Structure 1
Amino acid sequence: MILPKPSDFLVTGYSPAARLRIVFVDTTDSARALEQSHLCGPSAGLALAEALAGVSLLGADLNGSDETVMLRAMVSGPLKGWLTEAAADGGLRGYTMTKVVNELDVMDEIDLDAVLGDNGRINIIQTAPGRIISQALFDISPVSSRAALEEYYRCSQQRHVMVQVAALSYDGYIVISRGVMVEVMPDSDKEVFAEMCRLDEDGTALESLETCLTPQEWCRTMGLDDVRFDEPKPLLFKCRCSMERVESVIAALSVEELQEMACKGEESQIFCHMCGKGYQITPTQIEELIALRGDTKGSK
């Protein structure tokens, strides 16, 4: 399932003077598409927008053309958790465990701290078809996509980074979903990085991320005037689900389960957890699967 929108992107850059690596992502349109596809309320939509920007930053480390990285969180708040995924081809998808948080969705301003809760367990997995490249499992408190990434790079990758994630909504709809990561190299200018951390602590980094028009503008605000950026990589909401995959899942059910579905005499609706798209399975299709099972048993 693909919803085309060309403006989301990931771009990497490097400051020769400060010797710092920059990763900048804008996932606003993909976050909007997922919010609408899953029929998320304002709280879930905002949390998903943050998580999508976070996993997109992780996607900058993918090497093979068929690799993916997943950011999964189980949280103590009413959202219960989320799962987002970035693929090497730029595809993004994901969902929240809870779509509507009634008591918080009615608030004029969404309180993500209340939505996510105080504690969370994070699982980050990088995979290629048929194998796990790396994975990390750890707890964080308080809970945020930003905290998850900083802890992951610090403890699992032994890399020193500063991460900032911005997600904003207006009238219940996502208007901004962005993220930026600054990584310290062995020979980086530590004083420049310390000043950037100070600007992060006083809110300048987040405010600039919410309002900047380009990655270059954000870097200039943070004191980096010489960043050389590579060609941007397009990102988009893209799911690998298909009718063929749905049929293979249905075919794996037992004969008894298939017969129970067939007895209802109506179409069965199957929804993809990752993108929210629905697929219809007709009674005729189910009966054909049952008949095929019978033929298979008879041929043995």
Structure 2
Amino acid sequence: MSYLLIGNISALICDDCIEPLAQARIRVYLPDTRYPAANPKGIFSDLQPLSAKEVLMKADRLLAEASLDEQGNFTLSWKQEHLFTEPLELDLCLDTLPGKTGIQQPRNFHLCTAVLHWKRSINGYIGAYAYVVPSAIWNTIQGEAGAWVITGTVKQRRETGNDQPPLRVEAFNALSGKKIGTAITNEYGRYTLRFSRKDLYHGTLQPIRQGRRHMGPDVYFRIYNNDKLVLSENESHASSPERQDLPPCSCVNLVYRPSVVKWASGQIQGWINDMKVIAGKSRKKREQLHLSNALF
């Protein structure tokens, strides 16, 4: 007989975007009987940071450990040595943040201490556990690591009825003029762009400005369909309040005009300019002709 625990752990970047904590590690411990846990929130308690010393001190109580896959799923199993009515401690270790941005160091958190719900099977007991890190907590974790993630959707201003192709989204820091990240939209037009504090400036000290809480970038974007530019912003777009001092977890939705319309309007304008030049030359030639006739 054994225990099998399956589940998923993810984090909220914003209200409409969730990301799996791929390659994170989950650990299950027997609780320390010297300190009975009294947590009214049970499995819904928030993450609590753990020091390296605290992790080391509970090593002898470890039952099982597993890594999360790319979707944030995990499977843990251990032999039946204790009653299923006993509470268990669940901890999370982030060796790196998604995208491997920010300061690279293990970060340990206590998930919960609770009696999980088990179902009897032929080979033992099966349980499930899922947790989504709230966006406010995830924002703090990203910020302490010096990491940023920007997500959002890219949509056409006028729907053409055709499937939107993958687009390349480039973000720039208006404070330095430096490109800080690139992402490709998925089939739903969503992009996720990551960068670290070191990506914000060209090896210079970050300018300190009063009221900048997050020490984040002021961003503007450019969007490409293959190599064709379909949206070109500049520093002025980064001056709007929602684009300034971006927090570590941010959502920026973008709208662009279909490239065929942009291309056609540009070409028509070029034809108009050419016609003006030709017309101007014709008038000049006519004036020269009239002057020649007058002299003779």
| TM-score, normalised with respect to structure 1 | 0.28
Question: Comparing both structures, which one devotes a greater share of its residues to helix?
Answer: 1
- Report the structure number with the largest CA radius of gyration: 2
Relative contact order, higher structure (CA 8 A, sep 6+): 1
| TM-score, normalised with respect to structure 2 | 0.28
Question: Comparing both structures, which one devotes a greater share of its residues to strand?
Answer: 2
